[in-house]
Every structure is written in C-alpha cells, then in structure tokens.
C-alpha cells in the first residue's frame, strides 16, 4: 500500500470546471480515499475508487465501493467558531479537516453515526446564520 494523490474534477456552483486532490491508498487495482474532500461532491472518506493515469497523474474514474460515510462541507461566517463547532461535531462521532480557507471545513459522518441528529444540529446553526453547509456526499438514509 502506498499513499498518493487522486485528482477529482467537478463543476462548481457557477458551472466552471474545477479540480481538487485527495489522498488515497492503493488497494490492489483500486484506491481508498484517505481524506475528506473540501469541494468535490459525491466522494467520501473510505470510498474505494478506480483511477485513470494521465501524464503521471491519477484522475478519478469511478466509484467502485462506497464506504457508507457522508461528507458535509461547511463554511463559517465567524472564523472563531470553527474549532468549537468542530468539537461539537466530534461529540456526535464525526471527524473533520480544516482547509487552507480558515472558515471552511469538511466533515466525515461515519456510517455508524445517527445522521438525523447531526443534520438537526447543522440546520439550527444555519438558520441562526452561524454557518452554511452542503451535503456533498450523502450515504445516510433520510428518515
């Protein structure tokens, strides 16, 4: 097994083509995603994917096996809230990563976590104007 970067290509909210790289570990002929995407949709921590190599770079090809995790991308309106709120999310059983944009985090919701509780918390904060969030990859069933 070796660590490498995989490039994810996606369209932003304005229809522009963008690219994000994520760490991955080779697993046989495939790759397991090792970090939480900040911008790209439809990929989660632990997903097993195939890639295409182009000029020495690995590009996402397709999802082979979903991990069952969900990815939430959050932007905070007050940067000083980030660590405190991220700790609350950890209390739900989530993990998170901070980005180069200090007010932006990506949140991993493991399949064992009650997503409805997490979502209710996210909805309250969004309605209060403390943050905005996007369900970038939703594996949890909506109940």
Domain ranges of the chain: 3-65, 70-137
In this prediction, residue 140 carries a pLDDT of 80
| 7, 20 contact by CB (below 8 A) | yes
- In SS3 terms, 82-119 reads as HHHHHHHHHHHCCEEEECCCCCEEEEEECCCCCHHHHH
CA distance 61 to 4: 15
Q: Which of 26, 24, 19 is nearest to 35 (CA)?
A: 24
- Written as tens digits, the pLDDT of the chain (143 aa) is 569 999 999 988 888 999 999 999 999 999 999 999 999 999 999 999 999 999 999 999 999 999 999 999 999 999 999 999 999 999 999 999 999 999 999 999 999 999 999 999 999 999 999 999 999 999 987 65
| 10, 40 contact by CB (below 8 A) | yes
Number of Cβ atoms within 10 Å of the Cβ of 101: 12
Name the pTM for this structure: 0.91
In this prediction, residue 142 carries a pLDDT of 61
What is the chain's Cα-based Rg? 15
The helix or strand, by DSSP H or E, that contains position 63, with its residue range, turns out to be strand 57-65
- Give 70-137's CATH code, choosing from 1.10.1740, 1.10.10, 1.10.3720, 3.30.70: 3.30.70
In this prediction, residue 34 carries a pLDDT of 97
């Amino acid at each position: 097994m070796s660590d490498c970067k995989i490039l994810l290509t996606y369209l932003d909210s304005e229809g522009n083509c963008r690219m994000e790289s994520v760490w991955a570990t080779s697993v046989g002929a495939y790759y397991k995603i090792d970090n939480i995407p900040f911008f790209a949709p439809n990929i989660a921590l632990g997903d097993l994917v195939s890639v295409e190599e182009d000029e020495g770079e690995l590009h996402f090809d397709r999802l082979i096996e979903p991990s069952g995790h969900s990815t939430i991308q959050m932007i905070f309106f007050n940067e000083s809230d980030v660590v405190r709120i991220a700790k609350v999310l950890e209390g739900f059983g989530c993990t998170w990563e901070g980005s180069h944009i200090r007010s932006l985090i990506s949140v991993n919701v493991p399949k064992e976590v009650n997503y409805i509780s997490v979502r209710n918390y996210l909805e309250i904060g969004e309605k209060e104007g403390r943050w905005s969030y996007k369900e970038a990859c939703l594996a949890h069933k909506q109940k």
